Structure 1
């Protein structure tokens, strides 16, 4: 019973948080043609930039060079007694 009530409480708090986040800065409607043209231009620029980035040759990842013959944990030399 405790698990079910805990799940319901978490679900309700998640829904409340989502509803609160959407209430302040929702979608704003505008009939201004200049704003619409500006937003369309930004969208086209962004799309062109993304296409150029995806078509560009991928850079080779940096190669890690390891020093050969040197283990990470080397036992100290034993002293002869």
Structure 2
């Protein structure tokens, strides 16, 4: 279980802490579920408007200071 948690992306961890689905995040930001999925697996980096960025912070109940710099998998995960 610990190894599984370590492999989760930062966004997945934040979503699960708040019991949110990818769809709920996508709906809050006005984007597709596929886009959220791409962020979580590291296929794409978020390109958000200020409004979307604020919505992301709100739905994740996270401050700017606590939001990770990278929402995808850690660089160690990418090397595996």
Q: Which bracket does the TM-score occupy, shorter chain normalised?
A: under 0.3
Relative to the length of structure 2, the TM-score reads 0.18
TM, length-normalised to structure 1: 0.18
Q: Which has the larger radius of gyration?
A: 1
